[in-house]
Structure 1
Amino acid sequence: MIEKTALNSGWTLSCNDTGRSGLPAAIAATVPGCVHLDLLANRLIPDPYIDVNEITNDWIGKTDWTYCCRFEAVPDDGKVWEFVFDGLDTIAVISLNGEEIGRTFNMHRTYRFDVSALLKASANELTVTFRSAYAYGAEMEKHYGYRPNNYPGPGNLMRKMACNFGWDWGPTLVTAGLWKPVRLESWDRARLAETRVSATLAGGDGLVKVHATLARHGDKAACSLVAEIGGVTKTVAIGADEDEIAFELTLPSPQLWWPHHLGAQPLYPMTLKLIDDASGDLLDAYERELGFRSLRLDTSADEHGSAFTFVINDVPLFICGANWIPDDCFPPRVTTERYAARIEEAKAANIHMLRVWGGGIFETDEFYQACDRMGMLVWQDFLFACAAYPEEEPLRSEVEAEVRDNVVRLMPHASLILWNGNNENIWGFDEWGWRPIIKAGESWGLGYYLDLLPRLSAELDPDRPYYPGSPYSGSMEIEPNADAHGCKHIWDVWNDVGYEVYRNYIPRFCSEFGWQAPAAWATIEESVHDQPLTPQSNGVFHHQKATEGNDKLIRGLAGHLPEPQTMDDWHFATQLNQARAIRFGVEHMRSHRDICKGAVVWQFNDCWPVTSWAALDSAGRRKPLWYALKAAYDPRLLTIQPRGNGLAAVAVNERTLFWRAKISGKRVRLDGTVLAEFEFWRLLCDRFEAKEFPLPGDIITPDLPKDEVVVVQMLDRRAFHYFVEDIDLALSVPRLAIDIASIEGGFAVKVTAQNFLKDLCLMADRLDPDAVVDSMLVTLLPGESHVFAVKTTKEIVAEDITIGTVLRSANDLVAGSR
């Protein structure tokens, strides 16, 4: 059996810039880790997430660094001894006992080096010297020539996490280091060099496909590969002259794996054991958990253009999704527990797909394992984003090796449903002014997206769909961001116009759209120490990376909410507007379920404390957007939408059972007086259907628009329609009663409205930075009550629930501005 010795301790770090004073000759280092984390742990730099400290750390990415580890070994001449590096970031020279054993140029690959001839039977010294990515990038620009890039730095000229060099939500923190584990392995006779496993359905049975390649050492021996899953065992002989084998294994009638909103996620442990036939020795083993489901991406032509529909277990889905970025600028800091917590938060927000975005990383195994177990679908970009990429050597070979590594690693995961070629690069070439910059005949990445990547995907993982890009319309003959074909990004809404423009589009699938807002108040206070805090104070402004981002936040309020005059109001108004904008867009798209089959909001998470498009900030705190997504992505949604010259209540059902219930509605004054009402005995919305119910004329025709609201109810789902925006709505100063009671794990805060309260929010982090509230954005008619459940260890009394700080609503924004 392969023996594996982790080399995760005893490391030191040294700076190779002799002109850099104030650093020890040897700095205690952690592996897995990176230079920034080691300097931070040894108190040699200020925390780059705090205030404007990011800019004081620029020198780190422009410097060369060396990691060193001394270890003991007892090599055996009859075995192969190899160093395995799961992740090296990025340009590295590796030496053992003073002899160079390899060079690396790719953060996204696993490297293996044979050191059998160099390993000593005593003390050994392993060194890894990392070159500055900036210095290497300058060389590569001379080699390839300039290629357009929407963001700073040479991320498109090397295989490194592109957002390291800064993005419109992320800082410039250019890392180096051993970011994944390193180990010393020893083996003899044979090992599994590459193991490809996929799980699909063949009728009602599970079909496991295995393709294994062996590495051999010494005299070749006959072996057997024994596969076992769900009580089914198959033994396949591998002759002494064979290094490759492929076979299939059938599991009768397995339980189906489903995304979490539709069913369970049964996973079947599978083992492969490589056995020496002569001795019976176990030489190597492979273990995975497999889920069985069918999968296809329907892109067929139809009366609307061409579809973009994920079909799982023969069910065409509407995807309720969010984009996922690296959860930390320093990925080694993201633990298994943190991955699980983040994905649980996504699941709780009724998200059932995360798109792993192409400017980051292929996530660690723990991410995909958590998605498998929680029923969270994964769309995986290949790592190309917002830039033109050379297709010449040496980059091309690095891309191919990286894709082979990661497709083989990730293909067993039931949660993974798409390989996507790139993020916005075909769109960028077509519409962002790249054409005149890229010389005739010069490569820019298209050969990757239309040739290399689909070929590798088809060779390695033929049972999973590949799509060339996001956005992409299925053909280079159609503009890439068309409504009627493929997947679309909607960014003019945030950048140029109001969120009401979302209704101008009915895409086949929207894989990016978003609206900004600041992080939770507690997160801002933890990361920025400006006195006073204002939207334009140095620290707050530095933690806003989008071009004219603060201006767009204010411009986006225009026509909806009054311009805020205080920091508290700015914080809440922009958060509220973000939540409303995205809920508005999602409900519109879901109401057109017959045409549109997916909404993937930008973005779910953050990598540092920042004003961004995220629903969950970097501290894991929920912004109001999180609660808006939970409501808008509810598998049973009731929404009011314009249809023709009128309004319709639209019931949208993503459950497996039909939704049949009385639907009722009324037009009321804000004081609660009923002006018109209706009741329809039973509305039937079948599963996977959007059903429209035209609202009667007396319901949708107001007497005094600024003082009226339409309320429609279907069981416990409720939808509102306003005839004017809040800035013109007759909202009055909140009048309410508050009662508090202890509950397990915290407190129940009951709020009873004495006047109409719109989008009531309890900002739990203003009570306790660790508190979490179960609900938000609650609208109450006069006399109605709502109970907020607050998880906290802090004692809370009614006097703590201050209106305008802890308890916020559109009322105090609008009435307070008059």
Structure 2
Amino acid sequence: MGSYRLLHDGWTVASADSSVGPVPAAVPGCVHTDLLAAGRITDPHLDDNETALRWIGHTDWVYEAVFHWDGPSDPRVDLACAGLDTVATVSLNGVELGSTANMHRSYRFDVRPHLRPGDNRLRVHFGSAYRYAEEMRERLGARPNAYPEPFNFVRKMACNFGWDWGPTVVTAGIWQEIGLHSWGTARLATVRPLTTVEGGVGRVEVHVEVERASDGPLAVSAAVAGVRAETTIGPGERTAVVTLEVRDPELWWPRGYGEQARHLLDVALRAADGEVVDTWQRRIGFRSVRLDTTPDAHGTPFTLVVNGVPVFAKGVNWIPDDTFVTRMTRERYAERLAQACDANVNLLRVWGGGRYESEEFYDLADELGFLVVQDFLFACAAYPEEEPIASEVVAEAREQVTRLASHPSLVAWFGNNENIWGFHDWGWPERLDGRSWGEGYYLQVLPAIVAELDPTRPYWPSSPYSGPSRHPNEPAHGSMHIWDVWNQKDYTHYRDYRPRFVAEFGYQGPPAYATLRRSIVDEPLAHDSPGMLHHQKATDGDAKLQRGLDAHLPAPRDFDDWHYLTQVNQARAVALGIEHFRSLRPLCMGTVMWQLNDCWPVTSWAAVDGDGRRKPLWYALRRAYADRLLTLQPRDGDLVLVAVNDGAEPWQAPASLTRLAISGEPRAKTAVELNVPPRSAVTLPLPGDLTGSEDPRRELLLAESDGQRAWWFFAEDKDIAYPAPEYEATAEPVPDGWRVTVHAGTILRDLALFPDRLDPSASVDELLVTLLPGSPPRSPSPERPLWTGRPSRAAPSSAASTT
């Protein structure tokens, strides 16, 4: 069998004109992180350093390494490059092997004729991605995009060129594994398992493509779950299909719907004499998935159906978790996906301006039971359909659909992010003047590739998309994005929408205080101090934050107030949207909040900031995505109680509703019985003496059941006649930190502790807790702590404690 040798050691990088370097280079890696490690540049994530470092993306860079080679004597030796970023020319011992122009593809070069015993010099010259893209733009004609950067003319991670949440750091480097693959006879070029389940039978069609060094007969076998099958590949043939059928297999289910059973699939390629010449192994999952878009009385639904069960998508959008994606480790992916789990998320959408996510990401998603929707990599721009870009698009799509086919978590492909919407609403036709813009990719090329290579998964042309002959962002049809709320309106306007599936919506807030202090040196910190403004990339972002504060909250007295109140407003805005959309179930069957994570320290829409700290939004997200949700919603000029049950068991419990004075005295009260079937929502009307208030500045409505709470304040915080706060707070050491207990003498709304202001490593398990006066404090317990250092969904009444 062949052998593989990594070539990750001994690299240097220097500018092609020798003005910088050489310095030691990490492979996989990129020039920015290499220069940073060598002390040649400042950290692009700090202050406004990014601006002074933009020259890096306009510079050519050369990576070089010397390696020793004395064999083996296999007839083929390939230089296997899993990822080159981006415009590269590869040479060995002075012989040019080939060139590349696509970050999202792998490459192989036959180097056997050029290897020599002893030392060999490998050189990768990276041309400026800017220069390449600008040359393509000049050649093919300008195309509109959302930012003044040419990212749509080069097949590279678009957000490297800056986004409304990310810095402009145009990278170059050997960004994925590189090595020598020695082999003879034949090798497995691709293995593409297509898994379906029907009538209790799991079926795996293992599609194999081989590359040959000889023309003899071959045999390929596959085994999974105790079932084995084999077929032959005749002389000169290059493809085969091995079909396996497993009776009553253990199924893979989304999180919250069942277990994530996975089965080891082994594939072996044998020569005519029976020798194993190559192997391939993955863990697969038996599950069926379809997208239900059957027209109904309300329009066109957009419902993911897994193993025959409709799934409400409690989703978040995922962007690259680091500007420099080569710094991502399995441990960091695991930390971030654990945060998604703990926030009750079940779906991740991998956004189209980043990357096709890694094997580590998808393996963890398989293990944890996430549903993953992967965008093809087109975002917020018109893309040329001419050569050489058209062939690159086809090659990358075929490779990535094949690469990800084994992962049960991947449940759908989206053709792009917002490009069909952009063509309709952003003035593109006039600027394009008849030039191509990507429509052929989204409606013809990509769906044909998915249909050919992976018909087991649905394809949707765009996010958003409402179907042919309709406006692409029509709420009643398909998927939609809601951005007029953040950009133009108050967040209460989320309730104006009755969507079938919301693939993007969100509201901004600043990162944690410790994250700001690590990344910005401003003294004093202010919302408009230089570093804060540089780390606010959204157009008029500060003005939009201020608009939200003016509508709801008292004017901040200082930066600390501003920081807290803008975080509160972010959490309330997103929670209001999610609760409204969930209350519409089954009309609406998915919300995908923008966004889970950040790639650097920045004011953004993220729930987890660029240093991995949970913002108050994360805690609100956890409550809003809980399996059982009580929410008070305005309907037809009145208020109703909606109980949402996303669990597998009926929710049967008494519920109490009380109209209260702000001081705590009850003014009116009623009791109702909840009887909510699994995976459904029930709406209950409420009596008028609860839903109306003659003194809205001094009253609120509270619903309670089974430890769940829903609040309705009849006035905005800025207008409520809150009493001067009274409380007692104590702290006591516990094995994993400190427990802080707060006894409320008056109402305390959205109470929060921010221990990262004292210790950047400190965090709490709960934030934004509303306490009422007047009832006895509950004692924390190990089983249901009020606040502890571990995640807890307990809802305090008049006391809270935290570690």
| Residues 1:473 and 2:453 aligned together | no
Is 1:424–2:418 an aligned residue pair?
yes
Aligned position for 2:691: 700
Q: 1:317 aligns with which of 300, 311, 316?
A: 311
Question: What is the correspondence of 1:365-514 to structure 2 with a 5 Å cutoff?
Answer: 365-440=359-434, 442-475=435-468, 477-514=469-506
For residues 547-562 of structure 1, what are the structure 2 equivalents within 5 Å?
547-562=539-554
- Tell me the equivalent position of 1:237: 232
1:515 equivalenced with 2:507 (yes/no)? yes
1:74 offset after TM fit, Å?
2.0
CA distance in 2, matches of 1:733, 1:127: 70
CA contact (8 A) 1:358 1:382 kept: yes
Question: 1:698 is matched by which residue type in structure 2?
Answer: D
Match of 1:217?
213
600-609 or 770-779, which deviates more: 770-779
What code does the residue aligned with 1:644 have?
A: D
The answer to whether structure 1 residue 275 and structure 2 residue 281 are counterparts is no
1:567 pairs with 555, 559, 573, which one? Answer: 559
Cα deviations across residues 242-296 of structure 1 (Å, max 9, x unaligned)? 2210131012211221111222111111110112231x22111111111111100
Query: AA paired with 1:239?
Result: G
| 8 Å CA contact 1:75, 1:120 repeated in 2 | no
Quote the residue 2:347 is aligned against.
Answer: 353
Among 223, 248, 263, the residue aligned to 2:243: 248
Following superposition of structure 1 onto structure 2, how do residues 300-315 of structure 1 map, counting pairs within 5 Å? 300-315=294-309
Deviations 1:96-141 (A, max 9, x none): 0000001000000011111111011211010000000111112101
In the other structure, the counterpart of 1:62 is: 58
Aligned-partner SS, 1:418: strand
Does the CA contact (< 8 Å) of 1:771 and 1:791 recur in 2?
A: no
Please tell me whether the aligned partners of residues 556 and 562 of structure 2 are also in contact (alpha carbons under 8 angstroms).
yes
Deviations 1:45-65 (CA, angstroms, capped at 9, x unpaired): 001111111111111000000
1:186 matches 2:179: no
Deviation at 1:742? 2.7
1:311-360 deviation line (CA, Å, top 9, x unaligned): 11111111110110000110000101000110010110011111000000
Within 2, Cα distance between the matches of 1:289 and 1:143? 45
Structure 2 counterparts to residues 674-713 of structure 1, below 5 A: 674-680=666-672, 682-713=673-704
Query: Which residue, 327, 334, 352 being the options, matches 1:333?
Result: 327
Could you tell which deviates more after superposition, 197-206 or 130-139? 197-206
Q: TM-score, normalised by structure 2?
A: 0.96
Cα deviation digits, residues 69-97 of structure 1 (max 9, x gap): 10011234542000111110000000000
Contact 1:419 1:466 in 2 (8 A): yes
Deviating more after overlay: 395-404 vs 242-251: 242-251
Q: CA offset at residue 671 of structure 1?
A: 1.4
Assess if the C-alpha contact under 8 Å between 1:200 and 1:292 holds in 2.
Answer: yes
Deviation string 1:17-44 (CA, Å, 9 cap, x unpaired) is 34x4xx33x2100000000000000000
The CA distance in 2 between the partners of 1:232 and 1:731, in whole Å, is 68
1:635 equivalent to 2:631? Answer: no
Give secondary structure in 1 for the equivalent of 2:752: strand
The aligned residue for residue 795 of structure 1 is: none
Equivalent residue, structure 1, for 2:759: 768
Structure-to-structure mapping, 1:642-657, within 5 angstroms: 642-657=634-649
Is the contact between residue 487 and residue 510 of structure 1 (CA under 8 Å) also seen in structure 2?
yes
Q: Could you tell me which amino acid in structure 2 is paired with residue 690 of structure 1? A: A
Which amino acid is 2:2 matched to?
A: I
Q: Which secondary structure state, in structure 2, belongs to the residue aligned with residue 391 of structure 1?
A: coil
Give me the whole-angstrom Cα distance separating, in 1, the residues matched to 2:229 and 2:725: 70
Percent identity of equivalent pairs: 50
Paired residues of 2:222 and 2:242 also in contact (CA < 8 A): no
Contact in 1 for aligned 2:206/2:222 (Cα 8 Å): no
User: Equivalents in 1 of 2:372, 2:480: separation in Å?
Assistant: 18
Greater CA drift, 552-561 or 763-772: 763-772
CA distance in 1, matches of 2:499, 2:315: 15
The partner residue of 2:71 within 72, 75, 81 is: 75
Conserved? CA contact 1:428–1:434, under 8 Å:
yes
Match runs of 1:616-627 below 5 Å: 616-627=608-619
What amino acid maps onto 1:595 in structure 2? L
Question: How many pairs were matched up?
Answer: 786
**Contact 1:557-1:563 at 8 Å conserved across structures:** yes
SS of the residue corresponding to residue 559 of structure 1 reads helix
Match of 1:17 in 2: 17
Which stretch shows the higher mean deviation, 781-790 or 151-160?
781-790
Give the distance between the partners of 2:236 and 2:429, measured in 1 at CA. 52
Contact 2:293–2:301 (CA under 8 A) maintained in structure 1: yes
Within 2, Cα distance between the matches of 1:613 and 1:655?
28
**Aligned letter for 2:87?**
I
Secondary structure of 1:573's counterpart equals: helix
Q: How does 1:67-146 map to 2 (within 5 A)?
A: 67-146=63-142
> Are the aligned partners of 1:319 and 1:353 in contact in 2 as well (CA < 8 Å)?
yes
CA contact (8 A) 2:500 2:589 kept: yes
Q: Which residue of 2 aligns with 1:728?
A: 719
Distance 1:540 1:356 in 2: 28
Checking the alignment, whether the CA contact within 8 Å between 1:204 and 1:252 is kept in structure 2 is yes
Query: For 2:636 and 2:54, how far apart are their aligned partners in 1?
Result: 56
Give the deviation of 1:790 after TM superposition.
Answer: 5.1
CA 78–46 in structure 1, closer or farther in 2 if over 3 Å, else same: closer
Letter in 2 for 1:281: E
Q: Following TM superposition, by how much is the alpha carbon of 1:547 offset from its aligned partner in structure 2, in angstroms?
A: 0.8
Match of 1:529 among 508, 511, 521: 521
Q: How far apart are 1:767 and its partner, in Å?
A: 3.2
CA contact (8 A) 1:554 1:563 kept: no
Paired with 2:620 and 2:73, the residues of 1 have a C-alpha distance of 63
**Contact 1:310/1:316 (CA < 8 Å) preserved in 2?**
yes
Query: Is 1:4 matched with 2:31?
Result: no
Unaligned runs of 5+ in 1: 793-802, 808-818
Please tell me whether the aligned partners of residues 152 and 166 of structure 1 are also in contact (alpha carbons under 8 angstroms).
Answer: no
> SS of the residue aligned with 1:481?
coil
The amino acid that maps onto 1:453 is L
Contact 1:752/1:783 (8 A) holds in 2 = no
Moved more, 147-156 or 598-607: 147-156
The offset of 1:239, in angstroms, is 2.4
The residue type paired with residue 685 of structure 1 is: V
Deviation at 1:152, TM superposition (A): 2.6
The code of the aligned residue for 2:619 comes to Y
> Alpha-carbon deviation of 1:692?
0.7
Would you say 1:205 and 2:201 are equivalent positions? yes
TM-score by length of 1: 0.94
Could you tell me which runs of 5 or more consecutive residues in structure 2 were left unpaired when the two chains were aligned: 781-785, 791-799
Partner of 1:289: 283
| Distance in 2 separating the partners of 1:791 and 1:633 | 21
1:559 offset after TM fit, Å? 2.1
Counterpart Cα distance in 2 of 1:203 and 1:232: 18
Contact 1:75–1:81, Cα closer than 8 Å, also in 2? no
Q: In 1, distance between residues paired with 2:662 and 2:218?
A: 79
- Whole-Å separation in 2 of the counterparts to 1:233 and 1:247: 9
Aligned residues: CA RMSD: 1.5
Rounded Cα–Cα distance in structure 2 between residues aligned with 1:598 and 1:316: 11
Query: For residue 663 of structure 1, what is the aligned residue in structure 2?
Result: 655
Cα distance in 1 between the residues matched to 2:14 and 2:711: 62
Larger displacement relative to structure 2 (74-83 or 484-493): 74-83
| SS at structure 1 position matched to 2:97 | strand
8 Å Cα contact 2:463-2:481 kept in structure 1 = yes
- Report the CA distance between 1:791 and its aligned residue: 3.9
| Distance (whole Å) between structure 1 residues aligned to residue 404 and residue 745 of structure 2 | 55
